[in-house]
Chain A
Amino acid sequence: MNATRLLAVAVVVASIAPAFAASPEPPAGASSCSGCHAANAAANTPVPRLAGRNAAEIVTQMQAFRSGAQPSTVMDRIAKGYSDAEIAAIATWYAQQK
């Protein structure tokens, strides 16, 4: 692709751009989760998805992982890296995702 063609593409994209809105930014620490908790429902994994789950449920689980009340393989280690406020923000954000 040459520069002129690229600019032409850019102009076309710009002209249709107002039809889209930028999606709200995930809170700190949220975007890494989808490495294991699939954003794509079709992914073949026993790990549950987070998108669309009840926020309070995610918070309760994370706190149980962090305290050790809920046994896990990696989540006990990961949950210790997050504060209550961060967990709440992440849970709220995932609850709003599809």
Chain B
Amino acid sequence: MSPRRFNRREFLTSNAAVASLIAAPALAQAAPRVVVVGGGFAGASAARALKKADPRIAVTLVETSRTFTACPFSNGVIGGLRDIKAQQFGYDKIAADGIQVAFATATGVNQQARTVALDSGGPLSYDRLVLAPGIDIRWDALPGYTEAAAEKMPHAWKAGEQTMLLRRQLEAMEDGGAVFMAAPANPFRCPPGPYERACLIAYYLKTKKPRSKLIVLDAKDQFSKQRLFQNAWKELYPDHLEWVSLSSGGKVTSVDPATNTLITDFGNHKAAVANVIPPQKAGRIAEAAGVADRSGWCPIDPVTFESKLQANIHVLGDATIAGAMPKSAFTGNAQAKVCAAAIVKLLAGEKPSDPKLINTCYSVIAPDYGITVADVYHPVNGVLTAIPGGGVSPTDAPASFRAQEAMFAEGWFNTITSEVFG
């Protein structure tokens, strides 16, 4: 990376120069360039899948952080079952594939010139751009919940320091303290995530702070894998976990970080530890690139994952509006591989094939108790739709089945992280 920053004049000159070179017949046979922004499950998978499918493609992966901290299984870190280091991965193996890894933040996209501006170095020219920016917190959506408030009432919905902050708060809490979680309305990253977290916090309380209790204040009446979760709560955590639905007054309407209080229409809840999972939107670059709609998320074509709002820009993972596909790491990885195959065809002037994708999401309720949702998806009338036959684990399964799913959950984490980062 060049440490030099372009000023505006240089940026424009450089864009013009690049544009004229692209048009030149001498370069018509040059390697196609694909820039991928975002080095999470979706983005890193896309970069690798592109390079593997066609090594001639010049792939650049733009990522702010040199260390990736995975969200899946980070609830285990919060519950004290897992070290944060088991969640962390680097980009060395990706670079070894022949992918240029640029540690910088993408700040804007010029759709006409097909360039991505970076905060240091750049701009990068592309034939096809892939945005996999994950989520950003909507800091304007929950009164009182500012970036400063998140240092006191962690969201821990982007894994890393926030995850450790919540864990430390739980560890420092006196036995008997009240833990509160605010769960958001749909859509948000990882639909079963708040409820898995509730389980693993309750597991921690049951084993380490038995006089404490977690109360989940929810902005919804329904949630992912609901019956399985609620059955498990009754069975494993009757004294340590209480769920308050929207219709029972669970919606948190504001927070007061000064007093660690969550406010609903029905009362104020002062917390010893408060985990506020706030409303979210697609990561910042989506808005700057013009691929996010008024909902804050990104509409895409379900065959190519090309933005419905901007040509030559594809969007993957949590940032997308992907029909019935949930915002999960498995989904991001599956979409990335389909998108990479589509890009290879588009660059060759061929028609991409109709895809089929899987999502399998594990939730860990206790170390020996796992549950899943598994579905296969395909485009129907332009929308990614689940094929009948999928769904959640059986409600009447024996303990051995739950133990097996907990074991497979760990296998999944090891497999997907090895495919994406190993």
Q: List the interface of chain A (C-beta within 8 A of B).
A: 1-7, 9-11, 13-14, 17, 20, 22-23, 25-26, 28-29, 31-40, 42-47, 73-74, 77-82, 86
Contacts and interface: CB of A to CB of B under 8 A. Distances in A.
Contacts of B121: 1-2
Interface string B315-353: 000000000000000100110011001001100000001
B333 to A, nearest CB: 6
Interface in B347-371: 353-358, 360
Nearest to B123: A3
B55 A20 contact: yes
Contact of A1 (B1, B49, B357, B378): B1
A38 B416 CA distance: 8
A1 B124 contact: yes
A74 B360 contact: yes
B125 interface: yes
A35 B344 contact: no
A39 B414 CA distance: 12
Contact of A43 (B49, B357, B407, B418): B418
A43 B353 contact: no
Given A43-B422, A45-B408, A46-B408, 7 more contacts: A1-B100, A17-B56, A25-B344, A25-B353, A31-B334, A38-B418, A81-B377
Interface of B: 1-2, 4, 6, 14-15, 17-18, 21, 27, 29-31, 33, 49, 52-56, 58, 60, 100, 102, 115, 121-125, 330, 333-334, 337-338, 341, 344-345, 353-358, 360, 372, 374-378, 387-391, 393, 401, 404-405, 407-408, 410-412, 414-416, 418-419, 422
Contact of B419 (A1, A9, A35, A80): A35
A11 B125 CA distance: 14
Given A10-B30, A73-B401, A36 B360 contact: yes
A33 B360 CA distance: 10
Contacts of B2: 1-2, 5
Nearest to A44: B414
Contacts of A6: 33, 58, 60, 124-125
Contact of B411 (A2, A42, A44, A78): A44
B56 A77 contact: no
Contact of A78 (B6, B390, B416): B390
A52 B405 CA distance: 26
Contact of B356 (A10, A42, A81): A81
A5 to B, nearest CB: 7
Contacts of B29: 14
A35 B415 contact: yes
A2 B2 CA distance: 7
A4 to B, nearest CB: 8
Contacts of A34: 337, 415, 419
Nearest to B354: A28
Contact of A31 (B100, B341, B354, B390): B341
A11 B54 CA distance: 16
A7 B360 contact: no
A45 B412 contact: yes
Given A35-B358, A38-B419, A77 B390 contact: yes
A6 B116 CA distance: 13
Given A20-B55, A20-B56, A22-B53, A40 B422 contact: yes
Nearest to B59: A13
A4 B15 CA distance: 11
A1 B4 CA distance: 9
A42 B374 contact: no
Contacts of A82: 356, 376
A28 to B, nearest CB: 4
A9 B100 contact: yes
A49 to B, nearest CB: 10
A32 B30 contact: no
A86 B357 CA distance: 12
A7 B18 contact: yes
A73 B390 contact: no
A33 B415 contact: no
A36 B359 CA distance: 10
A77 B394 CA distance: 10
A28 B355 contact: yes
B376 A78 contact: yes
A22 B124 contact: no
A4 B415 CA distance: 38
B259 to A, nearest CB: 44
Nearest to A82: B376
B415 A32 contact: no
Nearest to A49: B415
A36 B422 CA distance: 14
Contact of A17 (B27, B55, B123, B344): B55
